Structure 1
């Protein structure tokens, strides 16, 4: 099977594949793009060929979509798996796949309710993608379902999380007691990685994310969330012409401040926070209605000066307006006022923080000096260390309104701007 692959394997990958055979519980952890997923998938395919006929075969991920993207798409790539890919059959959206002639059940496990999807099952072989994102209760239920004697196997991958995460405390640190075979991977363990891509990844991730996703450390979320923020690097007084008004992000507040930030795509292929609107009812001693906020946002956008345009040209129409998903009444107000392109923001907090960190760390994002609310929040936006000691990564919920608005706008458009990060920015970030 390994001879059919279309990519080289490192010594660490080959060792893990060999050692995984017969291991009841196998875990690949470490840096992003370190080759652990490819090694684990090869081990899974080998295990699949010898899995007993009785008992289910399951692949578990956070959602069906992440299973398709992270696992099935690579398995169906002839570039990666050569002729093996022709034996991987799946219809997008289906909860089963046929791999090497075996039916494989695809299980999304985004919350504790997912354990009901495997309760009562007898499982012969399981593969778990990103195990730290699977609920603890689901993982324990999955282990209890591996009931085909000594022939049952569970293979899993993960990026590191905090040092108090249950996967590290209860399994990695007790590997011998629980029968876990564990391998730690770094970027150097992936021979397929282009040196330029490695440099780009190292430049994009900073602080907590660098330690976890580049070094592969199980480390505590502590200190400033955006510790890569640098006034001399990220604050600008002059901006170029904006070839696209990418998005507005809005964090809604009545008692708390209401904040909106406008992001543009400059002709120099950088992203700019061009302007912000902020209203703090505590300072103004008056709360506003949804209709008043809608009016003020529309008036703000109509008055934004367009940089790089001769004269005093004003008024912009953003491609998207992303609103705090909990602010349903305000979104309805915007709809009623015929404001176009309004949609709920993607509100995955940690993933969103990571997107902002990538934009700042790579040097892609710059912020105009006039955005005082955002610039006042970014340096003091901090991790909740008490939550970290409980095994949770959470920022402190204080003075975060403009920071949240920025997160909404950037993370909801991450698929559009990640390709703008180029080698020149990598070099400047590494300098």
Structure 2
């Protein structure tokens, strides 16, 4: 078996770069499932062996050089790096009380880049290199600290990332930096570069990825902003169904976007036994107090039972009121892009339907909003206009289909 049987041509390009070129940063960026992290995991092992060799050459010899392994969270590092290496090479990592471990005679110090708290694990240390997984998700201050800590002889930094907004600091300051003195090498991946994925899988991913920004980022690996309508695949003719055509429902749930000056909205959804989601009821109103929404929620409970109400965490007093009224109110996961992608994917795959009688009523704002819900090209986020129903929809669908124990309040828009 030759090396060409183990790595794709794109991965071999990265490996050759890692071995032959004089670089300070090596960043693989692009599509999901394209092979970026897999090859970087192997380069990480190569770098540890190189660091051990460099440490042995110092006078006096450095007994325990340190190396930074960074990721968005403990869970992401475990899933993306450590477990993958264990599965591939049989490593049995032995962690100390600080979550560090030793490999090839190098102490690997883990730090988590999702919050500013990641500074604590590495502040003051001298690192001989770093591996930053999911680099675009890193807090910029933590990333810069990682860079500054890498001051050991010959220290180098490897990283991988999926695309984000083209104005992202990682793209502007590092990936697009062509100054030879910076010694930054970046390699772009497309999903088609991963020759080890089946053609069927790639075809399914292309067919099921929402059009526009999500397709360009996830499949082509491009750093693009959204433009125009967010739910480009929404087709009223295919999506609207009569109430009598709704099949047996497996579970019901609701999404809540609080409002007063702007409209508030409570939406009721149902999932059938075949992976389809139905918008069954919409309650949207302006200038209404919490008593009004409590009455709406109680009416929904009377019709559908004790269902989850996924609520905007911006008004915790309203959530508390629901709970005090024996309404099962839960804080929604307000992740904007992930939530929109989850909804858009259902629409693209024709797994999302809307009861015609609900959205054709005079009080409904759904159709007006879904056609006007648009990207802000400068920020890469939705424009905060005519988005109340869209927010309630995102809160409900994205939160309901996750592990309830991982849902936290706050954040998002």
Retained in 2: the 8 A contact 1:245–1:318?
Answer: no
Q: Tell me, yes or no, if the aligned pair for 2:31 and 2:189 is still in contact at 8 Å.
A: yes
Q: Aligned-pair distance for 1:374? A: 2.3
1:73 Cα deviation from its structure 2 partner: 2.8
Q: Secondary structure at the match of 2:124?
A: coil
Deviations 1:18-67 (A, max 9, x none): 32236321000111101111011111112122223544222212222222
Q: Which moved more, 1:331-340 or 1:260-269?
A: 260-269
Other structure's SS at 1:142 match = helix
Instruction: Confirm or deny that 1:139 pairs with 2:151.
Output: no
What SS does the aligned partner of 2:49 have?
helix
- 2:381 is aligned to 394
1:149 alignment partner, SS class: coil
C-alpha distance in 2 between matches for 1:230 and 1:62: 37
Distance 2:105 2:277 in 1: 48
CA deviation map 1:360-379 (0-9, x unaligned): 22222222221332222111
**Superposed displacement of residue 240, structure 1:** 3.0
Where do 5+ consecutive residues of structure 2 fail to align?
A: 56-63, 404-413
Task: Please name the residue that 1:46 is paired with.
Answer: 46
Shift of 1:241: 2.5
Structure 1 partner of 2:408: none
Structure 1 residues 318 and 367: alpha-carbon distance in aligned structure 2, compared to 1, 3 A threshold? farther
Is 2:74 the counterpart of 1:86? Answer: no
Distance 2:201 2:269 in 1: 26
Equivalent residue for 1:231, pick from 233, 236, 244: 236
2:216 maps to which residue? 211
Give the whole-Å Cα distance in 2 for the aligned partners of 1:70 and 1:242: 39
**Residue by residue, what CA displacement relative to the aligned partner does 1:231-268 show, whole Å, maximum 9, x if unpaired?**
12222224333332242111111222111112211244
User: Given the superposition, is the C-alpha separation of residues 135 and 269 from structure 1 closer, same or farther in structure 2, using an over 3 Å criterion?
Assistant: closer
User: Are the counterparts in 1 of residues 165 and 380 from structure 2 also a CA contact under 8 Å?
Assistant: yes
The 3 A distance-change label for structure 1 pair 359 and 97 is farther
Cα distance change, pair 319–123 in 1 and its aligned pair in 2 (3 A): farther
- Give the C-alpha shift of residue 275 in structure 1: 1.5
Q: Identify which of 7, 10, 16 aligns with 2:8.
A: 10
> Would you say the 8 A contact 1:88–1:100 is kept in 2?
no
* 8 A Cα contact 1:247 1:321, kept in partner: yes
Match of 1:158 in 2: 161
Counterpart contact for 2:29–2:36, Cα < 8 Å: yes
Q: Does 2:132 match 1:128? A: yes
Deviations 1:274-316 (A, max 9, x none): 21222222xxxxx32x2332122111343xxxxxxxxxxxx21
Structure 2 contact 51–106 (Cα < 8 Å) conserved: no
2:68 is aligned to: 58
**What residue is the counterpart of 2:251 in the other structure?**
245
8 Å contact 2:85–2:91 — kept in the other structure? no
Q: What displacement does 1:94 show?
A: 7.1
- Given the superposition, is the C-alpha separation of residues 233 and 75 from structure 1 closer, same or farther in structure 2, using an over 3 Å criterion? farther
C-alpha distance in structure 2 between counterparts of 1:351 and 1:229, whole Å: 18
Q: Pairwise CA RMSD of aligned residues?
A: 2.6
Q: How does 1:254-269 map to 2 (within 5 A)?
A: 254-269=260-275
1:405 has 2:395 as partner: no
Alpha carbons 1:132, 1:161 under 8 Å: kept: yes
Equivalent residues of 2:110, 2:121 under 8 A apart? no
Aligned length: 383
1:373 aligns to what? 365
- Which residue is equivalent to 2:410? none
In structure 2, do the counterparts of structure 1 residues 95 and 375 end up closer, same or farther at CA, with 3 Å as the change threshold? farther
- 1:300-339 residue pairs with structure 2 within 5 A? 300-302=300-302, 315-317=303-305, 319-339=307-327
Q: Equivalents in 1 of 2:101, 2:279: separation in Å?
A: 44
Cα distance in 1 for partners of 2:133, 2:237 equals 40
CA contact 2:212–2:226 (8 Å) conserved in 1:
no
User: Mind listing any 5+ residue stretches in structure 1 that lack a counterpart?
Assistant: 282-286, 303-314, 417-431
Distance 2:153 2:106 in 1: 20
Residues in 2 aligned to 1:43 and 1:381: alpha-carbon distance in whole angstroms = 43
TM-score normalised by L of structure 1: 0.82
1:166–1:102 distance in 2 versus 1, CA, 3 Å = same
Q: Give the secondary structure class of the aligned counterpart of 2:129.
A: strand
Distance 1:29 1:226 in 2: 26
TM superposition shift of 1:141: 2.0
Give the 3 Å change call, closer, same or farther, for CA 299–98 of structure 1 in structure 2: farther
